[in-house]
Structure 1
Amino acid sequence: VKIDSGILVNNPKDAGPAAKYFEDAGYDGIFTFEAAHDPFLPLVSAAMATKRVELITSIAVAFSRNPMILANIGYDLNLVSEGRFILGLGSQIKPHITKRFSMPWSKPAARMKEMIMAIQAIWDCWQNGTRLNFRGDFYNHTLMTPFFNPGPNPHG
Structure 2
Amino acid sequence: MRIGLSLPQYGRFANPALSARVATAAEEIGYDGLWVGDRLLVATAPQSRYPGGDGTVPPEYEAFLDPLIVLTVAAGATRRARLGTSTLNALWHPPVLLARTLTSLDLVSAGRLDVGLGLGWSKDEYQAVGVAWQGLGDRLEETLDVLERVWAADEVIRHTGARWTVPPAVIRSKPVQRPRPPLLLGGFNQATLARVGRRADGWLAVGLPVPALAQMWRAVRQHATDAGRDPDALRLVLRVNPVITAEPAPEELVPRRGTVRQIADYLATAVDALGAEPLIDLHFAARDADEYLALAGALHDLLREL
Q: Is the Cα–Cα contact under 8 Å of residues 97 and 105 in structure 1 kept in the other structure?
A: no
With structure 2 as the length reference, what TM-score do the two structures score?
A: 0.46
Task: Give 1:25's match in structure 2, choosing from 14, 21, 29.
Answer: 29
Within 5 Å, which residues of 2 pair with 1:63-102? 63-93=91-121, 95-102=123-130
Matches of 2:38 and 2:155, distance apart in 1? 32
Computing the radius of gyration from Cα coordinates, the structure with the larger value is 2
1:151 aligned residue: 173
Q: Is the Cα–Cα contact under 8 Å of residues 135 and 141 in structure 1 kept in the other structure?
A: yes
Within 5 Å, which residues of 2 pair with 1:1-156? 1-9=1-9, 10-35=14-39, 36-93=64-121, 95-124=123-152, 128-145=153-170, 149-156=171-178
Matches of 1:118 and 1:152, distance apart in 2? 14
Task: Give 1:143 deviation, angstroms.
Answer: 4.6
Task: Give 1:152 deviation, angstroms.
Answer: 4.1
Identify if the C-alpha distance between structure 1 residues 154 and 63 changes in structure 2 by more than 3 Å, giving closer, same or farther. closer
Identify if the C-alpha distance between structure 1 residues 108 and 153 changes in structure 2 by more than 3 Å, giving closer, same or farther. closer
Matches of 1:100 and 1:93, distance apart in 2? 13
Helix, strand or coil: the match of 1:118? Answer: helix
Matches of 1:112 and 1:95, distance apart in 2? 16
Q: Is the Cα–Cα contact under 8 Å of residues 89 and 119 in structure 2 kept in the other structure?
A: yes
Q: Is the Cα–Cα contact under 8 Å of residues 7 and 18 in structure 1 kept in the other structure?
A: yes
Task: Give 1:100 deviation, angstroms.
Answer: 2.2
Q: Is the Cα–Cα contact under 8 Å of residues 8 and 15 in structure 2 kept in the other structure?
A: no
Structure 2 residue ranges without an equivalent (≥5): 40-63, 179-306
Matches of 1:97 and 1:139, distance apart in 2? 21
Q: What is the aligned residue count? A: 150
Matches of 1:105 and 1:13, distance apart in 2? 35
